[in-house]
Amino acid sequence: MATDKILVIGACGQIGVELTAALRTLYGNDNVIAGDLREEHPLLVGTGPYITCDVMNKELLLSIIREHRITQVYLLAAILSATGEKNPGLAWQINMQSLLNLLDIARDEKLDKLYWPSSIAVFGPNSPKQNTPQHTIIEPTTVYGISKYAGEQWCAYYHKNYGIDVRSLRYPGLISYKSAPGGGTTDYAIEIYHKALAEGSYECFLDEDTYLPMMYMPDAIRATIELMQAPKESIKNRTAYNLSAMSFSPKEIAASIQKHIPDFTISYKPDFRQQIANSWPQSINDQEAQEHWNWKPEYDLETMTADMLKNLK
Ligand code: NAD
Ligand code: SER
């Protein structure tokens, strides 16, 4: 059997660093090439091949994919929700063109598989807020959400018309300690742990009762790999799967931190990200992921808080 050769684009980002490491453990260090615009992340240095690349440069991507005989690509480069609202044109351009470049290459070079993440940001204010179903009103109101929704439809289109094995997850807000988050609305749930340990207090940019769907990074990495390793016939959804683990508000995450750091205090000063958060679901129904490829999360708020504080210390 031919060896899988994997390219991770956006490998120095919040997900990329941990996903690249997990893929290297599974497929062998030399078989997983990390690529990003930025300088190599310190946690990746010395663990396998690294290439500086711009996902907007299709010719360069093509030559990397040919030269290294790449069979699978994980496309993680994107502009996230909060940064996207500051520069909508750029967010649309990067989020869309990067995906179209890779979908074309996947078709023309006959790649085995392509992974591209979507987000809970595809949902908008008219979507059901609680236990948001897989198939429901979408209508996103951020440029990030619009680009993710359009991207999902492009994935389904390339699968239907060209047989591309492209797979996707609608990640909730992801919480991790190894690499910094990249400009999302859910980033508060990472900053809060850092500030709790460093300063004993945190000023939150969302209101105390803003519930959002969230997930701890180890669950997100496992979900991604389980989705990508699932047999082709079990992937019945070719837009993107809803994915769920937990849902909490700033007040609740603060309370979970106070169990470990009793003197920790939180205050609230909502900014433009409040409006983005208000447009998103509060909790997600991921029954299809459970049924199609046996998805099950492991971490809840309490186990995540204990692990985050232990590791950040
Ligand atoms: P991130 O911003 O932390 O990382 C993105 C990486 O892409 C960065 O290292 C950046 O340097 C790189 N990049 C940007 N433009 C590039 C370009 N032109 N060429 C090459 N590399 C480029 O983002 P992340 O949180 O790791 O997210 C990865 C993917 O997962 C994105 O598609 C994002 O929308 C999606 N997602 C993330 C979350 C989350 O909470 N982190 C939730 C839902 C979906
Ligand atoms: N965590 C991401 C964001 O806030 C959701 O896709 O942008």
Same topology between domain 6-172+215-242 and domain 174-214+245-312: no
Cβ-based neighbours of 151, under 8 Å, separated by 6 or more: 95, 96, 99, 116, 118, 168
Catalytic residue ranges = 144
> Measured in angstroms, how far is the CA atom of residue 198 from the centroid of ligand 1?
26
pLDDT (0 to 100) of residue 243: 98
What are the pLDDT tens digits along the chain (313 aa)? 578 999 999 999 999 999 999 999 999 999 999 999 999 999 999 999 999 999 999 999 999 999 999 999 999 999 999 999 999 999 999 999 999 999 999 999 999 999 999 999 999 999 999 999 999 999 999 999 999 999 999 999 999 999 999 999 999 999 999 999 999 999 999 999 999 999 999 999 999 999 999 999 999 999 999 999 999 999 999 999 999 999 999 999 999 999 999 999 999 999 999 999 999 999 999 999 999 999 999 999 999 999 999 999 9
pLDDT (0 to 100) of residue 3: 87
Q: Which two tokens stand for residue 255?
A: 């309370």
Mean residue pLDDT across the chain: 98
Write down the pTM of the prediction: 0.98
| Ligand 1 nearest atom to the CA of residue 83, by list position | 2
Nearest CA to ligand 1 atom 13: 77
Q: Is the CB of 121 under 6 A from ligand 2?
A: yes
Q: Give the chain's radius of gyration (CA, Å).
A: 19
CATH architecture of 174-214+245-312: Alpha-Beta Complex (3.90)
Domain positions in the chain are 6-172+215-242, 174-214+245-312
Give the CATH number of domain 6-172+215-242.
Answer: 3.40.50.720
Share of the chain above pLDDT 90, in %: 99
- Give residue-wise pLDDT tens across range 206-257: 999 999 999 999 999 999 999 999 999 999 999 999 999 999 999 999 999 9
The distance of Cα 267 from the centroid of its chain, to the nearest Å, equals 28
Cβ-based neighbours of 257, under 8 Å, separated by 6 or more: 192, 193, 196, 264, 305, 309
